[in-house]
Chain A
Amino acid sequence: MANSDLISGATGDWEIVLGLEIHAQVSSNAKLFSGAATEFGAEPNSQVSLVDAAMPGMLPVINEKCVEQAVRTGLGLKAQINLYSVFDRKNYFYPDLPQGYQISQFQQPIVGEGAIDIDLDEGTVKQIRIERLHLEQDAGKSLHDQHPNMSFVDLNRSGVALMEIVSYPDMRSAAEAQAYVKKIRAIVRSLGTCDGNMEQGSLRADVNVSVRRPGDELGTRCEIKNVNSIRFIGQAIEHEARRQIDIIEDGGTILQETRLFDPKNGETRSMRSKEEAHDYRYFPDPDLLPLSLTQDFVDRIADSLPELPDDKKARFINDYGLSAYDAGVLVSESENAAFFEQAAQGRDAKATANMVIGSVFAGLNKAGLSIAESPVTAAQVGQLVDLQSDGTVSSRIAKEVFELMFEDGEDQGKDPAVIVEEKGLKQVTDTGAIEAAVDAVIEANPDKVEQARERPKMAGWFVGQVMQETGGKANPQAVNALVMQKLGLD
């Protein structure tokens, strides 16, 4: 562990210990135990079957697609797939929990131990162990702002399949926790088992936070429920760790409890203490037989597994000669990696990676757009890389051309060659033309010529002047060589 992850308190250094429970909504057309649709954003209570509403005599029937998705995710986490697993009932009362219990998996989950590598700064990697993954039903949604003295309930989400992915307490900083969530998100997205959309709640995390002196036993933990963005996860951890340290340093003790993160003030507050915790009275759901999978079923899923982010990263390093850092950035989202690969097809991969990361991602980030919304296509990025590689434009002009293609305006979305042509941005490599320009500048500035002969660094001034005269289109190497030659500095 890097020392920089320690937090210094008034009485010395503290170490944060973090474990995460990620709830990932299974990508499937139907719910875990009913045929109702799962589409986001539908009219309230329009996607509710008799089973989801817990009508009398209704029975759950497992959706095979959700089982397949859980197994696929387990394989992506390089985890143990349990051929025998059991669905249990977790009993508690809440208006948005129609059955009065959530069907989950308690003692025998469908997926056991696994591990993933998380990518930290500058290409360093750390392994985080996965304890388990189990399938469970989501609850509905209570709406408290629709009526002065009543709450409304929307059951569209009731019964939607979730995968709860539980890590071991292997993380030691907010950055590690964030990298972990990003990696899980990248894995489930590349597998197509969860859309990873945190704004819509398809992926959310419960964060277990404790602090201790480096090397001590684990401290008492608090669980922060339902944090739904990577930024909030970082804020919640920072705040919670600081809160715990302050309490301990003031002579207090940490009470085990469930807390909520409030994004408005960046703080966590108590939701319920251990004493108030529910007794969930788990027991095997008698409406469902234990889930029994064949090895063949698992093998078929394994055979159909797409390339995982870590494998893709290794391939990018080996086949394209990219740095670990660039490869890591490109594979963090499978759509980004696909965009890059399309752009890099048949041309200089390193130059393409530079343009994708330096121009495309930077532009999208600034504009708040997703890769799918990019005004510049992968093919156009490729064309632009080609124009740069074959010397048609300089790297500086390439950047300008990209901006014209990207920004709002008449050139947005145009092919780079068209813009270069229309705007006359072609790099001047004609030595004659460049020579004329160099001669003109030398002739007009005899004093500077004298100075330059004294101080050879002054040659840069002449290069700048020539580039200005030629509107930046002159090949900088050619200009440089001619200036040096004409000034007798070479």
Chain B
Amino acid sequence: MSELTELTLAGARDALADKQITARELTEAHLARVAKADALNAYVLQTPELALQMADASDARLAKGEAGKLEGIPLGVKDLFCTKGVRTTACSNILGDFTPPYESTVTANLWADGAVMLGKLNNDEFAMGSSNETSRFGPVINPWRGAGDSQLVPGGSSGGSSAAVAARLGVAATATDTGGSIRQPAAFTGTVGLKPTYARCSRWGVVAFASSLDQAGPITQTVQDAAIMLESMAGFDAKDATSIERDVPNYEAALTGDIRGLRVGIPAEYRVDNMPSEIEELWQQGIDWLKQAGAEIVDVSLPHTKYALPAYYIIAPAEASSNLARYDGVRYGMRENGADIDDMYASTRAAGFGDEVVRRIMVGTYALSAGYYDAYYVKALQVRRLIADDFAKAYEKCDVLLTPTTPSAAFPIGDQTKDALQMYLNDVFTVTVNLAGLPGISVPAGIDAQGLPLGLQLIGKAFGEEELLRVAGVVEEAAGFTGKADDWWSV
């Protein structure tokens, strides 16, 4: 049955529809593979009974010809999504064994379309990190290994999602992206990661990190799979005041492969110092592919790019410092008793939050404090506006932008944990997209000298996911990326 776990989402869907396989077989194959993959630490909670129950229900619907768009497709769910009756922790100690009595809108959409849940996937604590090393459950290991079989990070914060899809521990996975948390892990693992336009997917029931930046999206094996997943995940939700009432198109149908006449912008400011030449070359390669496919290449400028990372690391922690105030030990999650209420708060939060989360709460609290608010928070909002304006101006000259996804390939476990600033630089090409609320996708496009995957990022116009996916499909096709990590981890 090992070939069952090699199926793409589109492939599995078609095989299920053609009755070549059953949902139960497909789910069992993935469960069996997950059971052997403890070394990767991708899943923090496996739900095999629930998965089989859902798969059987899918088979019944398939038999009756009532199949949904994702009928019988086994998925992993990032532990940031609240799942009814299934422990949800955001990989933080402070949530203890919190088991939500409700289901996030995005996952509810997936289940309504027939998808099957394999379990909850590891992530950086509260999605704060770029290497999946801040999780209460320990780091996720990238199925791709470095020189001398060294262990690498899978990227973060959606490291469990990227590792699971790369190791075929699920046909696809849900993820979230606040500053690059879908795209960077996808680039590090040879998978496709799509961050939709802000407001495209509901945030209801997703544990909040930074509300104005958070957006759910899929990590998948292929661009087509990303299109299929997004169509199910997206949609207006009256329970999220920032969600937008706008029809969800058939994204899969947008993958025509025809980008003749499309204008692709190349932002000068994304050529950063000390970028490995391999990434520079890959970028050029991408430009050539798109040119060959009939696109027009346009040089554009995004002059405020260099302020994006500092602005992001004001805005995101500021919102986080407030969003995480609800974890106080009073109503749910863990509690450390104290001499009085203030002592209980302090003890609970000291024991419950990890170092990176504490750092961001402190930074955010400082940035919002009286006397600093104007100098930090207000300034950062101004920068954010300028960055959005940069994109608006660039889109007068082009339709999509092409950039590298990350300034490096996956790095060794523990390599950057001592230096927060170094870690933050991982997001340098991705945070601008969140600040401007635009859609972005990372497509695996090449292999570096160590044999590690590298990604190219495409950035679209707001709600321009169809065009974005179409170009991504062309890059994917041209790159012909077929690399796959070996199963060294399987026991």
Contact = CB atoms under 8 A, between A and B. Distances in A.
Nearest to A151: B341
A98 B325 CA distance: 9
Contacts of A57: 81-82, 100, 104, 203-208
B241 A100 contact: no
B373 interface: yes
Given A100-B328, A101-B325, A60 B82 contact: no
Given A151-B341, A283-B373, A283-B377, A58 B204 contact: yes
B203 A286 contact: no
A436 interface: no
A30 to B, nearest CB: 14
Given A279-B369, A283-B373, A56 B204 contact: no
Contact of A50 (B81, B88, B102, B324): B102
A442 B337 CA distance: 94
B238 interface: yes
A274 interface: no
A286 B210 contact: yes
Contact of B241 (A50, A60, A283): A60
B285 interface: no
B371 to A, nearest CB: 9
A54 B322 CA distance: 12
A47 to B, nearest CB: 16
Nearest to A287: B211
Contacts of A288: 241-242
B206 A100 contact: no
B331 A53 contact: yes
Contact of B239 (A59, A99, A283): A59
B275 interface: no
Contact of A91 (B208, B239, B322): B322
A297 interface: no
Contacts of B324: 100
A62 B241 contact: yes
Contacts of B90: 56
Nearest to B81: A57
Contacts of B82: 56-57
A98 B326 contact: yes
A281 interface: yes
Q: Which of A56, A57, A61 has the most CB of B within 10 A?
A: A56
A153 B341 CA distance: 13
A61 B207 contact: no
Contacts of B240: 59, 61
Nearest to A33: B241
A153 B100 contact: no
Interface in A87-107: 89, 91, 93, 95, 98-101
Interface in A51-78: 53-62
Nearest to A61: B241
B100 A55 contact: yes
Nearest to A62: B241
Interface SS majority for chain B: loop
A55 B326 CA distance: 8
B239 A61 contact: yes
Sorting the interface of chain A by its residue count into under 10, 10 to 19, 20 to 34 or 35 or more gives 20 to 34
Interface in B341-394: 341-342, 345, 365, 368-370, 373, 377
B102 A100 contact: no
B332 A55 contact: yes
B311 to A, nearest CB: 14
B318 interface: yes
Contact of A287 (B205, B242, B318): B242
A91 B331 contact: no
A433 interface: no
A50 B205 CA distance: 10
A54 B369 contact: no
Contacts of A50: 101-102
Given A91-B322, A283-B322, A283-B373, A98 B331 contact: yes
A59 B95 contact: no
Given A279-B369, A286-B210, A91 B325 contact: yes
A286 B435 CA distance: 13
A100 B95 contact: no
A281 B369 contact: yes
Contacts of B204: 57-59
Interface string A281-301: 111001111000000000000
A62 to B, nearest CB: 7
Contact of A98 (B207, B319, B330, B365): B330
A99 B82 CA distance: 17
A289 B332 CA distance: 28
Interface string B195-223: 00000000111111011100000000000
Interface in A141-163: 151, 153
Interface in A35-58: 50, 53-58
Nearest to B371: A279
B330 to A, nearest CB: 5
A177 B98 CA distance: 49
A56 B207 contact: yes
Contacts of A56: 82, 88, 90, 95, 98, 100, 207-208, 326, 332
A53 to B, nearest CB: 6
A95 to B, nearest CB: 5
A233 B141 CA distance: 65
Given A50-B102, A57-B104, A287-B211, A281 B322 contact: yes
Contacts of A287: 208, 211, 241-242
Q: Which of B82, B88, B98, B322 has the most CB of A within 10 A?
A: B322
A287 B318 CA distance: 13
A62 B328 CA distance: 25
Interface in B161-208: 203-208
Contacts of A281: 321-322, 365, 368-370, 373
B328 A93 contact: yes
B381 to A, nearest CB: 9
A289 to B, nearest CB: 6
A54 B333 CA distance: 12
B102 A55 contact: yes
Contacts of B100: 55-57
Contact of B203 (A59, A89, A282): A59
Interface string A388-407: 00000000000000000000
Nearest to A100: B325
A279 B368 CA distance: 9
A137 to B, nearest CB: 14
Nearest to B88: A56
Q: Which of B206, B331, B345 has the most CB of A within 10 A?
A: B331
A349 to B, nearest CB: 52
Nearest to B346: A93
A89 B324 CA distance: 13
Interface in A257-291: 279, 281-283, 286-289
Interface string B375-415: 00100000000000000000000000000000000000000
Given A57-B204, A59-B203, A283 B318 contact: yes
In the A-B complex, the 6 residue pairs with the smallest Cβ-Cβ separation, listed nearest first, are: A100-B325, A281-B368, A286-B211, A286-B212, A54-B326, A57-B205
24 contacts: A55-B331, A55-B332, A56-B88, A56-B90, A56-B100, A57-B81, A57-B100, A57-B204, A57-B207, A57-B208, A91-B321, A91-B368, A93-B325, A100-B324, A100-B328, A153-B330, A279-B369, A279-B370, A281-B321, A281-B322, A283-B319, A287-B211, A287-B242, A288-B241
Given A61-B240, A89-B322, A283-B319, 14 more contacts: A54-B331, A56-B326, A59-B203, A59-B240, A59-B241, A61-B239, A93-B325, A95-B341, A98-B331, A100-B326, A281-B369, A281-B373, A283-B377, A289-B241
Interface of B: 81-82, 88, 90, 95, 98, 100-102, 104, 203-208, 210-212, 238-242, 318-319, 321-322, 324-326, 328, 330-332, 341-342, 345, 365, 368-370, 373, 377
Interface of A: 50, 53-62, 89, 91, 93, 95, 98-101, 151, 153, 279, 281-283, 286-289
